[in-house]
Chain A
Amino acid sequence: MTTDLLVKELVDKNGKCRNSLMPILQGIVQKEHYLSEEAMLAVARELDLSAADVYGTASFYTFLDTVPRGQNIIRVCKTITCHMKGKDEIVNAICNHLKIKVGETTHDKKYTLLTANCLGWCHKGPVMLVNDDVYPDLTPDKALEIIQTYGKEE
């Protein structure tokens, strides 16, 4: 489906008012993994908002990406408890395995690796989020195992 069609579908579903902006943006990210320039312009056109306004909202939210992302987004918690419980080893293991740095996307567009602020699982750190799923009590091996299950799904 083209971006324009996707946006139209989401607007039909959520309505044209200002309040619909968030669910529409979330709907695009769900399908396309990020908000392209084309997508943001289409939303501005459909809701009759300025493009800067749409970009302002999109750029405020961490989970509304405005740069291309992979099919699966890994977010490792970087805050203090997870840091003390060894999040660096988790990050390094994933980096070595996927051959990317934090912030990058694999060549096959399957994975993007990011860090995240506190996920609220301090008692079971280190923790990571893959798409919408939380994985606590990680070890480097466990993390890699989990990631591989996502690769297979596609």
Chain B
Amino acid sequence: MNKYLVNLKINNMPISVEEGTTILDAARQLNLRIPTLCHHPDLSVAGNCRVCVVEVKGARLLAASCATPVSEGMEVFTNSEKVRIARKHIVELLLTEHNADCTKCFKSGNCELQDLATEYRIGDHVFLDIVKPQSKIQDISSPSIVKDDSKCIRCQRCVRTCDELQGLTALAVTNKGDHQKISTFLNKPLNDVVCSTCGQCINRCPTGALTEHTNIEEVWNAIYDPSKFAVVQTAPATRIALGEDLGLTPGERVTGKMVSALKRLGFNKVLDTDFTADLTIMEEGTELLTRLKKILVEKDDSVKLPMMTSCSPGWIKFQEHMYPDLLENLSTCKSPQQMFGALAKTYYAEKINIKAQDMIVVSIMPCVAKKFECERSEMRDSGYQDVDFVLTTRELAMMIKQAGIDFNHIEEEHYDSILGESTGAAVIFGATGGVMEAALRTAYEIVTGREVPFTNLNIQPVRGMDGIKEASIKIKNVKPEWSFLEGVDLNVAIANGLANARKLMEKVKSGEANYHFIEIMGCPGGCLGGGGQPIPTSPEIRKKRAEAIYSEDANMPIRKSHENPEVVEVYEQFLGEPLGHKSHDLLHTHYRPRKRY
């Protein structure tokens, strides 16, 4: 359908834009910035905060530019006297209901409301402060998310995030008028409701109403404690986003700088979750082939297909709540973070001659669900809590600032060995489709003895930011022991964001889909858009992070998990073989059904 062009003037500047464009977007095309709070590029339009009001000639009232489409001959003023006064009053009124104790707020320095108040030089309140004292009691029940209603401005971005992107609606708008509140079911603690702990709400909260449950102080204590040996692991997606919180632009790769900064913070060893990402591929790839064999050859119907990935703890908790009848489809593999913890306190502790009880394992993750995951009772197979503390990418940036490290001028360093070697296949775990691509690179080669038939190993059909992707790969000329797979079309599907996961699960349940292997990442774009990543987030920012991930992969000397020399070594010296007895004890787990409503 052809779009008509609409002519209008904004601040006396003429512009032609497509029919249906909002005044806000038209103004942006003219490089005019109109402030917004409830508006977010990932979400539907709400138009409830009103800070984006503009004057439209001939209209009696000011219009919310985010919710008003342009019309022919329209004359808009974004900074008239009327607009300025109204906008300042709107910010002042928002502040009357906001606990503006900024210096003590975790979000201070990265708060959209604070920025606006600063921009408009809001001084002493002209309106009465009406923050309810009882709203200052924070909900700290969740190991991942802290909710502070006294900071909430009811823009409802979190509600739209949980509903539109994540398909859960754990948070809803409740009550009305001056009692209106963003709340869980019956105001229950977040830990007791159907919440995936993905933290996407945190990424989109314009204030400090939703933040991560911070562990910075615990980690400093571990670093300073001379009786403890502090080991840190870094997730794939942290190295392409950390820079954003330290003055760099989205898409800059900072792997070497991050390693160097972690050493300067005082960690005894700086190791890589990418190593266990490679290990995950060995275990999960073998698990997939074993399931296929059991079903196709042994006709064993106790084994379930499609097999689904289990790296994303937000997705796992979602599945436990929403589709408990599909739990057996989940790979039994622990996530790379937890495989790392279990190996660190066994294999690695033995190698470096440190007692497991003296070791503190810290993870730097793009994720807040990982904070929940590390506390799960299933994750103690080393005899101790396998991973002690999880920090988000944002928290690491805070620690680097606290330590006075000049991140931009720091020398690049390498990960320590062992448990520090990785491949390109591991780093792409951070993007949606990455686990699938890494698994295919290895599984195809195990079965056929040849590399995957894609230029430079880049499996383009599984890449990209589409919510749901499908691909089919024909397996030909297999090795004799895999003859049952000759000519088989391996059908795979990939979803990112839990709302998309839900659509895919409905297809699986109805039997409409015929997949063998499904990769699900709980967050939009995969881990690179995780709930622990630098704020803000948008489709453009996530696209840049994805480009950085794939260029990191392309620049790695080894790009297939099974060729990681440290992975080969851990099987030779410790684990035996994938899905072997030791793997089963340390690297695999089970899941539990949780209530859906």
Contacts and interface: CB of A to CB of B under 8 A. Distances in A.
B22 interface: no
B179 to A, nearest CB: 9
Interface stretch (B163-171, B221-229, B408-416): B163-171
A51 interface: yes
B185 interface: yes
Interface string A39-65: 011001100011111111001100000
Nearest to B169: A50
B176 A37 contact: no
A111 B280 CA distance: 63
B597 A55 contact: no
A50 B196 CA distance: 13
Contact of B174 (A37, A41, A44, A59): A59
Contact of B172 (A45, A52, A66): A52
Contacts of A55: 172, 174, 183, 185-186
Contact of B176 (A40, A41, A49, A60): A60
Contacts of B597: 41, 44-45, 50-51
Contacts of B134: none
B186 A66 contact: yes
Given A44-B597, A59-B175, A50 B186 contact: no
A55 B183 CA distance: 9
Contacts of B183: 52, 55-56, 59
B193 A52 contact: yes
Contacts of B23: none
Contacts of B172: 50, 52-53, 55-56
B478 to A, nearest CB: 43
Interface residues of B, number: 17
Contacts of A53: 169, 172
Majority secondary structure, B binding face: loop
A37 B194 contact: no
Given A44-B597, A45-B597, A52 B185 contact: yes
Given A37-B186, A40-B185, A45-B597, A51 B175 contact: no
A62 to B, nearest CB: 9
Interface string B166-201: 001111111110000001111000000110000000
Contacts of A44: 597
Interface in A54-89: 54-56, 59-60, 66
B171 to A, nearest CB: 6
Most buried by A among B173, B185, B596: B185
A121 B417 CA distance: 81
A45 to B, nearest CB: 5
B194 A50 contact: yes
A56 B183 CA distance: 8
Nearest to B187: A55
B220 to A, nearest CB: 36
Nearest to A46: B597
B188 to A, nearest CB: 9
Contacts of B173: 56, 60
A66 B174 CA distance: 12
B174 A50 contact: no
A40 B170 CA distance: 14
Contacts of A59: 174-176, 183
A41 B596 CA distance: 10
A53 B167 CA distance: 12
A52 B176 contact: no
Given A50-B170, A51-B597, A52-B184, A60 B175 contact: yes
Nearest to A42: B597
25 contacts: A40-B186, A41-B597, A44-B597, A50-B168, A50-B172, A50-B194, A50-B597, A51-B185, A51-B194, A52-B170, A52-B174, A52-B183, A52-B185, A52-B193, A53-B169, A54-B185, A55-B172, A55-B174, A55-B183, A55-B186, A56-B183, A59-B174, A59-B176, A60-B173, A60-B174
What 7 pairs across the A-B complex have the smallest Cβ distances? A56-B172, A50-B169, A51-B185, A52-B172, A59-B174, A44-B597, A52-B185
Given A50-B597, A52-B185, A59-B176, 16 more contacts: A44-B597, A49-B169, A50-B185, A52-B171, A52-B183, A52-B184, A53-B169, A53-B172, A54-B185, A55-B174, A55-B185, A56-B172, A56-B174, A59-B174, A59-B175, A60-B176
